[in-house]
Amino acid sequence: MSDCLFCKIAAGEIPSRRVHSDEEFYAFEDINPQAPTHVLVIPRRHIATLNDLRDEDAPLMGRLLVLASRIAKERGLESKGFRLNANCLESAGQSVFHVHLHLLGGRPFGWPPG
Ligand code: 5GP
Ligand code: ZN
Residue 114: pLDDT band with limits 50, 70, 90: confident
- Among 30, 37, 89, say which to mutate for ligand 1: greatest number of ligand atoms within 8 Å of CB: 30
Given a cut of 90, is residue 2 above it in pLDDT? Answer: no
First vs last C-alpha separation in the chain: 31
Does 114 reside within a domain?
Answer: no
Report how many domains make up the chain.
1
Pocket of ligand 1, beta carbon within 6 A: 5, 16, 28-32, 40, 87, 93-96
- pTM for the predicted model, two decimal places: 0.98
Give the ligand with the smallest distance to the CA of 6.
Answer: 2
**Is 87 among the domain residues?**
yes
The set of residues, in sequence order, having a beta carbon less than 8 Å from that of 13 and lying 6+ positions away, is none
Per DSSP, 14 falls in state S
Question: Whole-number mean pLDDT of the chain?
Answer: 97
How far is Cα 26 from Cα 4, in angstroms, rounded to an integer? Answer: 14
Q: What's the CATH code of the domain at 54? A: 3.30.428.10
pLDDT at 1 over 80: no
Position 52 in a domain: yes
110, part of any domain: no
**Position 27 in a domain:** yes
Question: Does 112 map to a domain?
Answer: no
21: helix, coil or strand? strand
Give the domain extent around 22. 5-105
Is 85 contained in some domain? yes
Other CB atoms closer than 10 Å to residue 25's CB: what's the count? 19
Q: What is the pLDDT of residues 35-78, one digit of tens each?
A: 999 999 999 999 999 999 999 999 999 999 999 999 999 999 99
SS3 64: helix
Query: Is 20 known to be catalytic?
Result: no
